[in-house]
Structure formats: structure tokens, C-alpha cells
């Protein structure tokens, strides 16, 4: 079980251009808790029940999460500043039947969210000591769902035993699907500050892609 990260940042051009970046790697390697079982000897065969294949290692799984991001800040002029941010993410989870401990490898999906990302770009400008303009665009791109594991590509009807070697054991196949969600937004605003009072007016528009 590990979680490693590092960050680095600083000026690219003094008083004008800066950057900051973070990278992170997380992972876990596990054996199912509370039960010991092996891959299915009859994987991919119609009409056969589960039989443990003890010639292979016990069923286990590894999950991993990775992301790296970067931010760049540009002071273009005395009154115009820009920020750009991007976060790229990758996740693979070898879930055993949705996280349970009684599913053989061929009936377990790989949870994948690659690529997933978050991003935004902003602009701000203090036109006067009382009037500030701001605008930005940003969004996320998300994927989630499951894919069959390499080497277990035959899609067959799932079977869950009510009794037998391991009651509740699921084997043979599973239904996998992928989902995509991409909500983006655009915003703009103007702020007026007098010192004792302030007012802000703006607009925000969001749109999604499924």
C-alpha cells in the first residue's frame, strides 16, 4: 500500500511568469479478506461449475490511482493576469465482483477512468481601484465503468452459487459498461468596490456532454 507525491514550482520569468506542479501515485495490492480461493479451472466453459485451479496463485488484485497537474500564472501587464490549470488523472481498479471477495477473475471487471481530467483558465483585470473584471472557462472530463480483464474476454452468463464449494461465489461472466460525463462552464463578472460597499454582477453558463 503506497502513496507517493512530489511538487515543484517557481518563477519562469521574474515578476511575470510562474508555474507549480504536483504528481501523485497511489496503489494497493491485496488478497481478499476472510476467504481464500483460486481462479476458475473451467473459466470460459458453458455448463461447468466453478472448480478451483490450485496450479495458479490465489486470487488477488492491485488498484492504482495516478494524477499530475500543473498551474501557470502569467502577469501579462500590470492590469491583466491569466491563470491556466490542468489536472490529468488515471485510475485502474481490479474490483472483485464490485468489491466483494467471492468473484473469480473472469467475472470481475477492471474499473477504468482513463482519461479523466479537470481544467480551467481564468483572467482578471482591475481596471481601476474600484472596478474589477473577471472571466473564466473550465470543466472536467470523467470516465468510469468497467472493462473485461485481459485474457478473460469471453462474455458469458453470470452464475452465482447458492451453495457448493463457496456459497455466494460468482463466476463465468459479467456485464461491463463505460460512462462519460463532461460538464464545462463559462463565467464572467464585474465587481464594484467603494470601500464601504461592494457589488458584483456576473453570468455563469454550464453545459454537459453525456
Q: What angle do CA 4, 110, 61 make, to 5 degrees?
A: 60
Per-residue pLDDT at 98: 40
Q: Using CB atoms within 10 Å of the CB of residue 40, give its burial: 0 to 12 exposed, 13 to 18 middle, 19+ buried.
A: buried
pTM for this prediction: 0.71
The span from the CA of 33 to the CA of 202, in Å, is 53
The span from the CA of 149 to the CA of 142, in Å, is 21
Instruction: Quote the cell numbers at residue 56.
Output: 495458479
Per-residue pLDDT at 142: 79
Instruction: Tell me the pLDDT tens digit for each residue of 6-24.
Output: 999 999 999 999 999 999 9
Q: Which range, of 63-77, 86-100, 188-202, averages the lowest pLDDT?
A: 86-100
Mean pLDDT of the chain: 82
Closest CA relative to residue 34, chosen from 11, 56, 59: 59
| Range 40-63 average pLDDT | 79
Amino acid at each position: 500500500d503506497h502513496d507517493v507525491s512530489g511538487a515543484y514550482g517557481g518563477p519562469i520569468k521574474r515578476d511575470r511568469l510562474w508555474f507549480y506542479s504536483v504528481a501523485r501515485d497511489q496503489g494497493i495490492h491485496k488478497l481478499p479478506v476472510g476467504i481464500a480461493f483460486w481462479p476458475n479451472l473451467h473459466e470460459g466453459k458453458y455448463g461447468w461449475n466453478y472448480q478451483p485451479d490450485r496450479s495458479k496463485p490465489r486470487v488477488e488484485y492491485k488498484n492504482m490511482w495516478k494524477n499530475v497537474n500543473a498551474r501557470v500564472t502569467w502577469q501579462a501587464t500590470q492590469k491583466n493576469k491569466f491563470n491556466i490549470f490542468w489536472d490529468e488523472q488515471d485510475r485502474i481498479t481490479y474490483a472483485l465482483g464490485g468489491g466483494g471477495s467471492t468473484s473469480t477473475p473472469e467475472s470481475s471487471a477492471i474499473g477504468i477512468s482513463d482519461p479523466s481530467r479537470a481544467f480551467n483558465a481564468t483572467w482578471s483585470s482591475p481596471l481601476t481601484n474600484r472596478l474589477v473584471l473577471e472571466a473564466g472557462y473550465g470543466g472536467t472530463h470523467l470516465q468510469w465503468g468497467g472493462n473485461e480483464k485481459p485474457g478473460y474476454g469471453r462474455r458469458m452468463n453470470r452464475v452465482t452459487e447458492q451453495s457448493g464449494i463457496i456459497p455466494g461465489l460468482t463466476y463465468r461472466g459479467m456485464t461491463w459498461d463505460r460512462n462519460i460525463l463532461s460538464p464545462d462552464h463559462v463565467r464572467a463578472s464585474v465587481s464594484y468596490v467603494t470601500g464601504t460597499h461592494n457589488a458584483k454582477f456576473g453570468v455563469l453558463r454550464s453545459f454537459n456532454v453525456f
